[in-house]
Every structure is written in C-alpha cells, then in structure tokens.
Amino acid sequence: MTALCVLAETVALLGLLAAAVTFPLRLLRPDRDYTRWGQRGMLLGAGLLGMGLMAHFVRRGEGPLGDWANISFLLVLLLALAVLCVERFAKRPALAAFITPLMFGTALLGLLRAAKALPAISNHWLVVHILLSLVAYVCFTLAFAMAASYLISDHLLKRKQLERLPLLPPLASADRVGHGAVMVGLALFTIGLLVGALTFWDFGVGMDPKIPAAMVTWLIYAGYLGLRHLAGWRGRRLQWVLVAGFAMVVITFAFFGHNAVRLKAPDAAPVTTERA
Amino acid sequence: MNNELHIVAAGLNHRTAPIEVREQVAFGNGRLEAALIQITDQPALGEAVILSTCNRAELYAAASSAPEALDALARFLSEFHGVEQAAVSPHLYRYEDEEAVRHLFTVAVGLDSMVLGEGQILAQVKQALLSASEAGSARTCLQELFQRALSLGKRARTETAIARGAVSISSAAVDLAKTTFGDLKGREVLVVGAGEMSRQTLTHLVDSGVKSVIVANRTFENADELAGEFGGSAIRFDEFPQHLDRADIIVSSSSAPHAIITVEKLRPHLATRRGRPLFIVDIAVPRDVEPAVADLEDVYLFDIDDLQTVCDRYRAERAKEAEAVAVMVDEETRRFEHWLGSRAVTPLLVELRTRTEALRDTELERWMRRLPNLEPEERELVGQMMRSFANKLLHGPTTHLRAMAGREQGAEWVPFVRSLFELHEHIDAQSDEEDVR
C-alpha cells in the first residue's frame, strides 16, 4: 500500500510539474501551445491526490487535515478547482500560468513535510479555522494571479508588445476579479482568524510565529480594500499590494505553518509519522 | 443538341480598374433592378446575377454557350451604362466554367477583397442573389452557385482566422481599448478634433457601448455636429484639459502643429485619477500627444504607427490563413463542378430509364398475352422479376455516368451512351432543371 501511495504521489507530482511548465510556457511563447498536456497533467495530479486523500480517510479514518501532506493536497485540489473555474469563465489560458506552479510547489512541500505529522485534530473549531484559512488562501492566490496578470499586461502595453495580450484578461477585468477574490478571501480569513484565536486561547497556547504573520497578511489585504474603497485607488500600485499580500500568505503557509505542530490540544491524539 | 450549361463571369474590380472606370459601371441607386430585368432579355444568357460594390462590378451568368454569354455580358455592361466598350474592355476579366465558379468563391471568402477576409462582401453577395431572385434572373443553377458561395464564405470565416483581428486604424484603436478595459460599456470618451478619423473611431467605440462622448474642436460647430451624431456633448477646444481627469479613453486627431496633450498638462490630473487607467489614441499627424506621456504610470499611449503595426500584424495573420481558405475554395469548386456535371447527365439518365421501363412494360404485356393461364399472384411475380431485372441492368450505367459527370471527359460519355442505347436527343436541359434538383 505504501509503495502504491509513493507511486501515485510521484505520478501526481509529475502531472502537476507538467502543468507548472506548460502553462507559463504558453505565456512566454504564445506560438507554442502545450497547455492541453498541462491541463491533463493538472487533472491527473489533482485527481490522484484527491484519491490519496480518500484512501487515507478509508484506511486510517482520518480526514484531510490529518497531516501536512493531506492539508497541502487539499489546498492543491482547491486550487485546481479555482484554475478550472478561471479557465471556464475567463477563457484566458495564461491565468493558469500563475497558479499551476504554486500547485506544484504546494504538493511538493506537502510531500517533503509528510514525515512531520500533526496531532489528530478532533476539535471542530480548529477544523473550521483550518478550512476557512485554506479557502481564503485559494482566494488570495486567485487575487495574486489577477494582480500578476495586470502587471504583466501593463508591462506589455507600455512596451507595445501586444501579441501576448489576448492570453491575459483586460486590465479592468483583472482588477475587478482580483478585488472580488480579496473581498471573499478576507471575509473568510477574518472569521478563520477569530475562530483560531479563540480556540488557541482556550488551549492556552502562547505566541506562535504564525499569529503575527497571519496578522500582517490580514493587515495587507485590509489595507488593499481600504486604499481601494476609502482612498479610491486603482491601477498598478494597488496590484503590488496584492502581490505583497500573497507573499505574506506564502511565508505564513510555507515557513510558519509547521509551528502549529507544537499545538498541544487537550484532545489531540498521539503524533504519528508514518503515511499510509 | 448540347445540354451542357456553362457558368461565366465578367467584370472589373479594384485590381483591374481605377475608380474612374469603376464608378462608370457601378449599378447603384436603384439601377440594379432595371439592369436585372434587361439582362434577362439577352438571348445568350439563361440566368444572371449582378454583384456591384464600391470595389467591383461583376456579372455572372449560366448559359449554354460560354463565349457567346461572355460577349453578351461585356456588351451589356458597356451598353447599359452608356460607356464605350473600348473604355471598359481593357479592365475587364472574363472567366468561364471552373474559373468563374472559383472566382465567385474567392470573392465570397474575402480573398479578392481590398482588405483580406473583410466581411462586408458576404452581405453584398447575399444581396446580389436576393435581388436576382426577386427579379427572376437567378434560378436553379445560379441559386445553387450563390448559396454555395454564401455557405463557403461563412465557413471560411468561422473555421479559419481569415477575418480575425482589426485591420483598420479605427478598429485597431478600439481593439486596444478593449484590451485595457475589456467591456467598454460605461466608459467615458474624450475626442479632440472632429475629423473623419475621429468619426470612424467614435463609430466603433459607440458600437462597443461607451457611456458618454465629449468632443472638443477648434471650430465648435464641427464638434457640436460630431457630438450630436453620437449622442455626446461638445465643448470648446480650450476646455478639454478640464475633462482629462474624467475620461477613460482619449482619441486625439486634431490638426494642431504641436503637441496639445503634454506631461505638464496631464500630470496634475493623475493625482485625481488615483491610478485609474487612461487609454490615449493619438491618430494625428503631427502627433497631438507628447511621447513622454507614455511614461506616466497607468497611462497607455498609442500613436498611429502603433495602430498601423497592429493592423499589419493582423493582416499578416490573415495572409497566413489565405492558403487554407484557398484549399476550401478549391474543394468547393470541385464539388460544384461535380454537381453541375451530374446535372448535365440527368436528362440522359431520365431518358434511359424511361426507355427501359417502356420496353419492359411492352415485353411484359406481350408475354402475358401468351401466358393466359397464369394466376394474378404469378403475374405479379413475373412483373416484379422484370422490374428487378431492369433496375439491376440500369444500376451500373447510372452509377458510372453520375461518377463520370463531374470529370473533364464526362460530357464525352453522353453521345456514346445515347448511341449505345439508341436514345433520341429530345430532352432539353432547361426543361429538366426540376428533375436535377
């Protein structure tokens, strides 16, 4: 079973790698379109990871929040869903170029951290906190993709390199969708933070580096909305705020997330390190 | 008698004739109806369609003799317009049979247009067919030909990129504006200058749904007239800087000898705009907008050379598609030729079947008289056997003739089969058109 899991995870990773290469390549070389293979790779990768989550649940009775790998895989699945939605509604293939490398990175990070298992989470509020945060991360990723698209379009327009523009959404659309994603993401992130803070308070956990990082992330996105709605900002500079916000999301997820292992929840099960 | 029908085309277009000649033979202002009535009176022509646009005047006909029909068309063109034939003839092209069919298909797909792949020609071909149908000058053959041309024209534009992208300065400007804003609905446009280029660009912008139009011009009356055309408002020329903070799109095409939109003028408005994108199209020569404006943040400036580059790129992309479209034209030409050829053998096939059935019935009747003791069921059985035998006998020649019909040597088979089966030439192709269908 373990060998089969390793094989499935390796194939999934290769599929995601194909997506992470072909989609950005489309943006760099508009005349070469290999995104069909990338899309297949993404679907294969996300599908296998989803099946892995199911197998994990069936075999060990653990939900998707059982260990870091599973959390990462769940995030990859949610990102794949976001890519499919973006492709279906925006019909701009280059948008996936910004998300698919992140999917690959998230899956790789999850596998590298597979050995660092979490205490089994049976506290419902903690589950709500994690799930809300994950969906908020997906929204922030989408906002980042839109901001990156905006900045690249701006660059291309300024340099009159117009051949690649049809691959990207128009400036106004990227701005509007990015704004919508932040509105939804920040609302979920705020609720998730409040739920998390109250749960940690109950457990008597002290200062975790993840907490100030999350606070900085929240402040950046709140600042974005404030600048947009109160000061009436638009345009290129506002997109950089989204990039900064996303950088903080990555830092929070990649570097500080593991500190939650320290969490000693009263109802936490013993730590396990072996992945089925 | 020869049952073959020939498609012929004669005309002139923007490649073969200057505007001075084209305007003399144009069928405009209600003259088309009169021309269609007159052209059907020509004895050499069976059917006729007139395609008249600003770039071409072409006459298509279906007739039994191609050279006579072409002469009749050339004569009609000059006589109808009262122009010396010698003045028109050097510019006239004449096509017959496959070349005439291919020419119409090439016109319909836009390969013969001044702007490759332009869509207006398809509507003009459709109108030409409609007018000819109403006048009764387009019947079976030209109806089929023009319907195929229309269908091919649509297919070429949907299945290839022959009609993709902007190819005029004004439409390229609007395409670029859409790249910036996506949907132009609700956008505000400031137009500086009220010339023809401004009008053309405004037409595209208003069609794309812009919310408000403000026109500034040195001659206020011209600004007022242009703004009135598009439901906008006019302002005096020196008032336009006051609107720089509100506009999303600026179209500048004044005849000012120096830049009228400068960094100095624009910078104070950028603080008010707070990063809202400003799209400027400068289609004036000399330029109205200082080039350094392009360096300002969230300002996107395109001059006439940039727009020309966009047009050139799209033209090049269309040219790449021309080869694929030409293949489609060739295929459709072959299909039509086959249809026309099979139409030529239809009277022969009808005659062959009629003769065989008549022989069968005669023989059946004769033999039934000699077999009076047969039961009705047995008589019916013998009748069925004879019908089956006749069908099987005709199947081979029918299939072969239909297959040969579209080919070059197909017509040679008609007298041969007539002679072989002792058929008399009494069926006229014209009278059997309905059978062909």
B433-437: long-range contacts (C-beta < 8 A, 24 or more apart)? Answer: B433/B139, B433/B140, B433/B141, B433/B343, B434/B140, B435/B346, B435/B347, B435/B350, B436/B140, B436/B342, B436/B343, B436/B346, B437/B140
**Is the model's pLDDT at A71 over the cut of 90?**
no
Is B182 in contact with A232 (Cβ distance < 8 A)?
no
Name every chain A residue with its beta carbon within 8 A of the beta carbon of B309: 160
ipTM above threshold 0.90: no
Burial of B385 (0-12, 13-18, 19+ CB in 10 A): exposed
Q: Which DSSP category does B224 fall into?
A: H
For an interface test with A, give the residue of B179, B210, B297 to mutate (most A CBs within 10 A): B179
C-beta separation of B125 from B309 below 8 A: no
pLDDT, position A273: 40
Write down the domain spans for chain A: 1-118, 123-267
Question: Does domain B169-297 match CATH 3.40.50.720?
Answer: yes
Amino acid at B205: L
Q: Which residues pair with B13 in a beta bridge?
A: B56
How much is the average pLDDT of B211-219? 94
Facing A235 at nearest CB: one of B275, B310, B313: B275
The CATH number of A1-118, from 2.40.50, 3.40.50, 2.40.10, 1.20.120, is 1.20.120
C-beta separation of B28 from B15 below 8 A: no
Q: How many A/B residue pairs have CB atoms within 8 Å?
A: 57
**Is the model's pLDDT at B2 over the cut of 90?**
no
- Lowest mean pLDDT of A122-136, B96-110, B177-191, B419-433, name the range: B419-433
How much is the average pLDDT of B146-160? 95
pLDDT, position A272: 43
**Is the model's pLDDT at B430 over the cut of 60?**
no
pLDDT, position A58: 82
Q: What pLDDT, in 10s, does the model give residues B55-68?
A: 899 999 999 899 99
**pLDDT, chain B, mean:** 88
pLDDT, position B118: 87
Chain B closest-CA separation from residue A152 CA (Å): 12
**Is the model's pLDDT at B3 over the cut of 70?**
no
**Would you tell me how many other CB atoms lie within 10 Å of the CB of residue B369?**
8
Among residues A77, A65, A62, A188, the alpha carbon closest in space to that of A136 is found at A188
pLDDT, position B427: 44
What's the rounded Cα separation, in Å, for the pair B34 and B52? 13
What's the rounded Cα separation, in Å, for the pair A61 and A49? 17
**Would you tell me how many other CB atoms lie within 10 Å of the CB of residue A4?**
10
Is B309 in contact with A163 (Cβ distance < 8 A)?
no
Is B183 in contact with A165 (Cβ distance < 8 A)?
no
What's the rounded Cα separation, in Å, for the pair B152 and B150? 5
**Is the model's pLDDT at B135 over the cut of 70?**
yes
Higher pLDDT pick, A110 / A143: A143
Q: What pLDDT, in 10s, does the model give residues B248-305?
A: 999 999 988 899 999 999 999 998 999 999 999 999 988 999 999 999 999 999 999 9
A69-A71-A77 Cα angle (round to 5): 100
pLDDT, position A180: 96
- Lowest mean pLDDT of A52-56, B104-108, B321-325, name the range: A52-56
Q: What pLDDT, in 10s, does the model give residues A87-107?
A: 777 777 778 899 999 999 999
Facing B275 at nearest CB: one of A165, A172, A238: A238
Write down the domain spans for chain B: 6-165+317-328, 169-297, 339-436
C-beta separation of B250 from B294 below 8 A: no
**Is the model's pLDDT at B354 over the cut of 60?**
yes
**Is the model's pLDDT at A258 over the cut of 70?**
no
The CATH number of B6-165+317-328, from 3.40.50.1370, 3.90.1170.50, 3.30.230.70, 3.30.460.30, is 3.30.460.30
Is B277 in contact with A169 (Cβ distance < 8 A)?
no
Name the maximum alpha-carbon separation found in chain B: 116
Amino acid at B4: E
Q: Which DSSP category does A168 fall into?
A: S
- Lowest mean pLDDT of B104-118, B221-235, B416-430, name the range: B416-430
The number of helices, as runs of H, and strands, as runs of E, in chain B is 15, 10
Q: What pLDDT, in 10s, does the model give residues A188-225?
A: 999 999 998 888 777 666 667 788 889 999 999 999 99
How much is the average pLDDT of B195-217? 92
